[in-house]
Structure 1
Amino acid sequence: EGLFYSAAAHKRSEVIGDTEVRDTLRITRATTEKLHDFAFELAQKRKERGKPGRVTCVDKANVFTSMAFFRKIFDEIRPNYPDIEANYNYVDAQALDLVRRPWDFDVMVMENMFGDILSDLGGGLVGGMGMAACAEIGDENGLFQPAHGSAPDIMGQDKANPLAAILSGALMLDYLGERSGDSRYTDAAALIEASVDKGFSANALRPMEFGGDMGTLATTREVVAGLKG
């Protein structure tokens, strides 16, 4: 979907000799409706947990017909969630606003390429990609992993920030709780997130990635200690 519809692996790009390449940005109603429903339902869950619980539709509807269609479907879905505040932002303005006033945003829904870029910007805002937890959720399965990939340059040196992996585990537990109806998973996810929050608030979590003095093992031990406390 989106511009990733034409990702090289799919071989859908139109290659015209050695002079031009054209990629297709594809927006379908079926996928976009599921995406917007997911965003609003996520906002509802976050609101129940004391978060802002607002949704921002990030697009470029003033330029691209596909993005205008994306926003049109957002407007059709929006009335189904009257308890959730919703608004729009063009993607370039969103990049500016995330740097200038990130606290004004909670859940943002957008096309894949825009999300690929702004998610890294979000990682930078919270100190680095070592905080960037990731959940890739499909109709039947979910994949949970840090967004940052591997770091072979610091392998075996006890320097990597493990929090993205730990928080990805929390996302997985939350997902399992929702799918199974077993609140123990959801409670465990909340405990992990609370331990990380408390650790930073008390300056007990100081990953080297942020200029701190704690490596992978020490950071992990502190999160575990927060769970016990």
Structure 2
Amino acid sequence: MKEIYDIAVVPGDGIGPEVSKAAVRVLTEALGSTAVLRFAEYPAGAELFQRTGDSFPAATFEACRSADAILHGAAGLPGVVHPDGTEAGLDFTLGLRSKLDLYANVRPIKLWPGVTSPLRGREVGDIDYVIVRENSEGLYAARGSGVFLRGEVAMDPLVQTRKGIERIVRFAFELARTRGGAPADGRRRVTCCDKANVLRSYALFREIFSEVARGYPDVEAEYALVDAMTLHLVRQPSHYDVIVTENMFGDIISDLGAATVGGMGMAPSAELGDGNGFFQASHGSAPDISGKGIANPYGTVLAGAMMLDWLGRRHGDRRLLDAARRIELAVHDALAQRNALSGDIGGTMGSADITGILCANLAPAASAA
């Protein structure tokens, strides 16, 4: 257990500064007088690139590398791109993944009270699974290193290695052991999502998944092709507990999953390595609503709770673990009892009001901490 945890906050672009500010306020309230988090802001993103030509300064990377955890708002602005057409705002997130080897992208998909799923008849408790996305290999690892010939031919390689696959699959099975199982039957289950019937790289993913699964007889292992998975997540989401998959497939199906629980504003994420952790909501920078006070802060607040849980487990710090649980309870109560819904999930409440309600829910517990 540490006396003080240093948190590097990178607000980013668009609504990023608004939602990161909300999360910092809630985190501070949850820990109350203990004051164990020390926040410091650092610049990165598309807006910075427009002003300076540098989207990810070396000083920001060094601060993130040495911090106990990294909290991010959002990145990217339309039209702010490099000469090759790729988004400058993504340099920060993609750069951190590769430089800090953040190989496990953890994306919980959970239906909260008060939020209406577009899936007919789905209620709270029906949708509660986690997508574990391999974050360091796959198709996205080719960014900046593919082939582009005279504006006529472009190629991006899809690379998967035994080491990369084995560690992400093991991560998924270990995660399943900490959960209560799938909502439909309570069984701990890890689903391998791939395209093994077409591509050798995914056939290797499935082969190594099977090898690792044999070491976890207490967790059920199963397989689904990614095209079928998009159907299953709509028709039978309650069947799933933990899903593990390649980088690009994980990106796609996690957005689909988020749509079933209220959208990207309700979707936190963690990107974890053996030594560093990076936390943010899954949504983009939404520049069309920036500065209007209507951004949904729940995804970033819940990402902050994931950060506390990760830090608390790493350092054996009960203060952080308790605060993480209180934040989740505060979110539950805000949605269930106070109808604190932002516009994207069917309400009219602004981000400041939602943040205030969350802090009010936390205040009694924080004062007693």
Shift of 1:84: 1.6
CA contact under 8 A between 1:43 and 1:54: conserved in structure 2? yes
Secondary structure of 1:47 counterpart: coil
CA contact under 8 A between 1:204 and 1:222: conserved in structure 2? no
Do structure 1's residue 159 and structure 2's residue 294 form an aligned pair? yes
Do structure 1's residue 27 and structure 2's residue 160 form an aligned pair? yes
Distance 1:39 1:59 in 2: 15
What is the TM-score when the length of structure 1 is the normalising length?
Answer: 0.90
Flag the structure with higher helix content: 1
1:89-116: CA deviations, max 9, x gaps?
Answer: 1101111111122121121110000011
Shift of 1:203: 5.5
Higher RCO structure, 1 or 2 (CA under 8 Å, sep 6+): 2
Q: In structure 1, what residue type is equivalent to 2:281?
A: P
Q: In structure 1, what residue type is equivalent to 2:318?
A: S
Distance 1:195 1:179 in 2: 24
Secondary structure of 2:284 counterpart: coil
Shift of 1:120: 1.1
Match of 2:310 in 1: 175
1:23-43: CA deviations, max 9, x gaps?
Answer: 211110111111011111111
Secondary structure of 1:214 counterpart: coil
Do structure 1's residue 102 and structure 2's residue 237 form an aligned pair? yes
Shift of 1:19: 3.1
1:27-79: CA deviations, max 9, x gaps?
Answer: 1011111101111111111228x975421110001111110110111111112
Distance 2:262 2:302 in 1: 15
Percent identical among aligned pairs is 49
Shift of 1:119: 1.2
Match of 2:35 in 1: none
- 2:246 pairs, out of 111, 117, 124, with 111
CA contact under 8 A between 1:134 and 1:146: conserved in structure 2? yes
Distance 1:66 1:75 in 2: 15
Give the aligned length: 225
Distance 2:160 2:279 in 1: 25
Match of 2:139 in 1: 3
Secondary structure of 2:214 counterpart: helix
What is the TM-score when the length of structure 2 is the normalising length?
Answer: 0.57
| Greater mean alpha carbon deviation, residues 205-214 or residues 26-35 | 205-214
Distance 1:19 1:148 in 2: 33
C-alpha change, 1:155 and 1:20, in structure 2 (3 Å) is closer
Structure 1 gaps of 5+ residues are none
Distance 2:322 2:361 in 1: 15
Secondary structure of 2:209 counterpart: helix
Match of 1:36 in 2: 169
C-alpha change, 1:199 and 1:53, in structure 2 (3 Å) is farther
RMSD over aligned Cα, in angstroms?
Answer: 2.0
Distance 1:19 1:156 in 2: 41
Secondary structure of 1:80 counterpart: coil
Q: In structure 1, what residue type is equivalent to 2:180?
A: K
Q: In structure 1, what residue type is equivalent to 2:222?
A: N
| Greater mean alpha carbon deviation, residues 99-108 or residues 63-72 | 99-108
CA contact under 8 A between 1:45 and 1:53: conserved in structure 2? no
User: 1:21-170 to 2 correspondence within 5 Å?
Assistant: 21-47=154-180, 53-170=188-305
CA contact under 8 A between 1:43 and 1:84: conserved in structure 2? yes
C-alpha change, 1:203 and 1:103, in structure 2 (3 Å) is farther
Distance 1:35 1:171 in 2: 18
Do structure 1's residue 212 and structure 2's residue 347 form an aligned pair? yes
Distance 1:179 1:37 in 2: 18
- 1:185 pairs, out of 306, 310, 320, with 320
Shift of 1:200: 2.9
